[in-house]
Amino acid sequence: MPEMSALIDRVTLADLFRVANRVLRPSTSALVGDRKRCGEPTVVVQGQLRGLPDVRDALRRRGLAGSASS
Instruction: Count other Cβ atoms within 10 Å, centred on residue 65.
Output: 19
For residue 22, the enclosing domain spans 2-61
Residue 69 falls inside a structural domain: no
Provide, rounded to the nearest whole percent, the portion of the chain with pLDDT above 90: 11
Residue 48 falls inside a structural domain: yes
Is the Cβ–Cβ distance between 56 and 40 less than 8 Å?
Answer: yes
Average pLDDT over residues 54-58: 80
Residue 67 falls inside a structural domain: no
Number of domains in the chain: 1
Residue 52 falls inside a structural domain: yes
User: CA-CA distance, 21 to 17, in Å (whole number)?
Assistant: 6
Kindly report, residue by residue over 20-50, the tens digit of the pLDDT: 877 776 666 555 555 565 666 677 878 887 8
Average pLDDT over residues 7-18: 91
Residue 68 falls inside a structural domain: no
Look at residue 69 and tell me whether its pLDDT is greater than 50. Answer: no
Helices (H), the chain: 2-9, 13-24, 55-61
Residue 8 falls inside a structural domain: yes
Average pLDDT over residues 4-32: 79
